């Protein structure tokens, strides 16, 4: 099936006389005729649901849909994007080991990696896009376990050269994990370019309605885990299961569920999975509209005398345009546009406060146009000089273009810019 059809049809298939729409299995547990059957589930020798902390039929249907959209062998939904990132890393790293990641990651991921994982003894080594392969390789040693980057970085909108970093990671026998939140599998499928694991915050475009926080981990099934004892040696918590031997291509994602979801319990509710599925059913339509509206907004801003600069990968003269054309379908670059107004921080705040249709939100990437001014919110404590160093200019506005009529969005921008 083509990806638009997968969005609509995949995952749940109702049989004769059954519900046409994905049912919500609001049940913690599942009943069985014999203890022996349940024992097989515990031994992982038979597939089935036993307890909703580990798996649930509603959640499973959505996992199947996302796995299919990404062309992976399996997926696991989590209660948030943060827990997807956490599990994706600690599934194959332990105390005393390290990994490579980019310094332009989402702020929440940066905190998780730089502060919380550090307390667990796992070291994140940060790199930037301007570093050469040789410079990066100096940071890789025998304890380096993975590479981690974002397809379209939030909020810098830099695009990951997936093929380059996948090749670099593979030369050192380690996988590339890609956070594909902003692109979604509709605009980019990182596995086609050599990535090994994909994670998502489904709270953004995949849900798309700003209704439910969630995350997803998808396994390509193509990485060779022979250098990873955690996947090749017996797991004592499962009477000696060896993930690569017992589960083949699905070793990584099976371990994530049966070991880490079991132990950490970052479980999504069946109702959240149902809402996510509703969002996914229109993902293809929304991403097209988000992208065309954002491109129109970016072009309009570029011509405006009150606007200093605009950054949007879909613009032909943008520094990221070549990578956008390579990795994003038809260069469609999702809905987020960054720009700066004249008059610095004050100009930006005035612009934001004057908007009528667009609302000020911490969220991005849903169907209602919203804006955020990092310098007066998420980076509020910093001085102008510190903001420059952090790459957050005082006039920087993150504009998340919704799917309303483009003329209304632009009219709102214009009346607000007049007040700058």
Ligand X SMILES: *Cc1c(COP(=O)(O)O)cnc(C)c1O
Are the C-beta atoms of 339 and 393 separated by less than 8 Å?
no
Those residues whose C-beta lies under 8 Å from the C-beta of residue 19, and which sit 6 or more positions away, are: none
* Residue 97 engages ligand X in binding (rule: CB under 6 A): no
Taking the complex as a whole, the smallest distance from the CB of residue 218 to ligand X amounts, in Å, to 14
Among residues 92, 100, 213, 283, the one that binds ligand X under rule CB under 6 A: 213
Contact 373, 384 (CB under 8 A): no
| Nearest to ligand X of 82, 144 (CB atom) | 82
Residue 52's nearest CA partner among 314, 200, 317, 271 is 271
Counting contacts by CB under 6 A, is residue 201 touching ligand X?
yes
Q: Which residue lies nearer to ligand X by CB, 41 or 364?
A: 364
Q: How far is the CB of 176 from ligand X (least distance, A)?
A: 16
Name the minimum Å distance from CB 37 to ligand X.
36
69 and 6 Cβ atoms separated by less than 8 Å = yes
336 in contact with ligand X (CB under 6 A): no
Smallest separation, CB 272 to ligand X (Å): 11
If the CB atoms of residues 295 and 365 are measured against ligand X, the closer one turns out to be: 365
CA–CA gap between residue 143 and residue 416 (Å, rounded): 52
Helix, strand or coil, per DSSP, at residue 29:
strand
33-72 mask for ligand X (x: CB under 6 A)? ----------------------------------------
Cβ-based nearer residue to ligand X, 113 or 247: 113
Nearest distance from C-beta of residue 409 to ligand X, angstroms:
21
Question: Residue 231 or residue 367: which is nearer to ligand X going by CB?
Answer: 367
209 with 367: CB under 8 angstroms? yes
CB of 181 to ligand X, least distance (A): 4
What are the beta bridge partners of residue 245?
none
What strands lie across the sheet with 307-311, from one edge to the other?
307-311, 336-341, 396-400, 370-372, 359-360
Per-residue contact track with ligand X, 100 to 139, x per CB under 6 A? Answer: ------x-xx------------------------------
Least Å distance, CB 336 to ligand X, is 9
The enclosing H or E element of 99 equals: strand 98-102
Report the 3 state secondary structure along 145-157: EEEEEECECCCCC
58 vs 334, which CB is nearer to ligand X? 334
Window contacting ligand X (CB under 6 A); options: 134-142, 177-185, 296-304, 381-389: 177-185
283: buried, middle or exposed (CB in 10 Å: 19+, 13-18, 0-12)? Answer: buried
CB closer to ligand X, 23 vs 108: 108
Distances 189 to 240, 312, 321 between C-alpha atoms, Å? 34, 20, 18
Shortest spacing between CB 200 and ligand X, in angstroms: 8
Helices 270-280/57-70 angle, 10° precision: 30
Q: Which residues ranging from 218 to 277 are in contact with ligand X (CB under 6 A)?
A: none
Which residue number, 367 or 417, has a Cβ lying nearer to ligand X?
367
Give the largest Cα separation in the chain, rounded: 74
The alpha carbon torsion through 187, 191, 193, 196 (nearest 10 deg) reads 130
Q: Which is nearer to ligand X, 194 or 215 (CB)?
A: 215
Ranked by CB distance to ligand X, the top (closest) residue is 81
- On whether the CB atoms of residues 217 and 62 are closer than 8 A, the answer is no
Which residues in 386-415 contact ligand X (CB under 6 A)?
none
* Closest CB to ligand X among residues 204, 290: 204
Pair of tokens at residue 322:
């070549």
Site for ligand X in 141-170 (CB under 6 A): 150, 154
Of 81, 268, 335, 347, the residue at the interface with ligand X (CB under 6 A) is 81
Q: Using the rule CB under 6 A, give the single segment among 76-84, 139-147, 168-176, 289-297 that binds ligand X.
A: 76-84
Contacts of 28 (CB under 8 A, 6+ apart): 51, 52
Closest CA to 69 of 163, 132, 6: 6
Size of the site for ligand X (CB under 6 A): 16
Measured distance CA(121)–CA(77) in Å, rounded: 26
At closest approach, how far in Å is the CB of 190 from ligand X? 13
Query: Which spans of this chain sit near ligand X (rule: CB under 6 A)?
Result: 80-82, 106, 108-109, 150, 154, 179, 181-182, 201, 203-204, 213, 215
């Amino acid at each position: 099936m083509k990806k638009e059809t997968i969005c609509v049809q995949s995952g749940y298939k109702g049989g004769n006389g059954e519900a046409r729409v994905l049912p919500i299995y609001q049940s913690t547990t599942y009943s069985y005729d014999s203890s022996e059957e349940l024992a097989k589930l515990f031994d992982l020798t038979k597939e089935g649901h036993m307890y909703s902390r580990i798996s649930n039929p509603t959640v499973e249907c959505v996992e199947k849909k996302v796995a299919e959209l990404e062309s992976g062998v399996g997926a696991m939904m989590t209660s948030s994007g943060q827990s997807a990132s956490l599990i994706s890393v600690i599934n194959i790293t332990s105390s005393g080991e390290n990994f490579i990641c980019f310094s332009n990651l989402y702020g929440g991921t940066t905190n998780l990696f730089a502060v919380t994982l550090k307390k667990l003894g796992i070291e994140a080594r940060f790199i930037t896009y301007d570093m050469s392969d040789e410079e990066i390789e100096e940071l890789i040693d025998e304890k380096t376990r993975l590479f981690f980057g974002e397809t379209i970085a939030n909020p810098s909108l830099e695009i990951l050269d997936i093929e380059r970093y996948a090749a670099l990671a593979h030369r050192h026998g380690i996988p590339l994990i890609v956070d594909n939140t902003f692109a979604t599998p509709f605009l980019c499928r990182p596995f086609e370019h050599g990535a090994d694991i994909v994670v998502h915050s489904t709270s953004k475009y995949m849900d798309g309605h700003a209704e439910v926080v969630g995350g997803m981990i998808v396994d390509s099934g193509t990485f060779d885990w022979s250098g990873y004892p955690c996947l090749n040696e017996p797991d004592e918590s499962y009477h000696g299961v060896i993930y690569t031997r017992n589960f083949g291509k699905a070793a990584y994602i099976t371990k994530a569920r049966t070991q880490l979801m079991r132990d950490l319990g970052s479980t999504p509710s069946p109702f959240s999975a149902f809402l996510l599925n509703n969002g996914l059913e229109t993902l293809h339509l929304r991403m097209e509209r988000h992208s065309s509206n954002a491109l129109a907004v970016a072009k309009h801003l570029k011509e405006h005398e009150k606007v200093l600069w605009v950054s949007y990968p879909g613009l032909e003269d943008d520094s990221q345009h070549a990578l956008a054309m390579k990795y994003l379908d038809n260069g469609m670059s999702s809905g987020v546009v960054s720009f700066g107004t004249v008059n610095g921080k004050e100009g930006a705040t005035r612009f934001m406060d004057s908007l009528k249709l667009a609302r000020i939100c911490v969220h991005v990437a849903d169907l209602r146009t919203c804006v955020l001014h990092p310098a007066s919110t998420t980076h509020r404590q910093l001085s102008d000089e510190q903001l420059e160093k952090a790459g957050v200019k005082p006039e920087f506005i993150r504009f998340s273009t919704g799917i309303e009529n483009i003329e209304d969005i632009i009219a709102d921008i214009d009346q607000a810019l007049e007040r700058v």
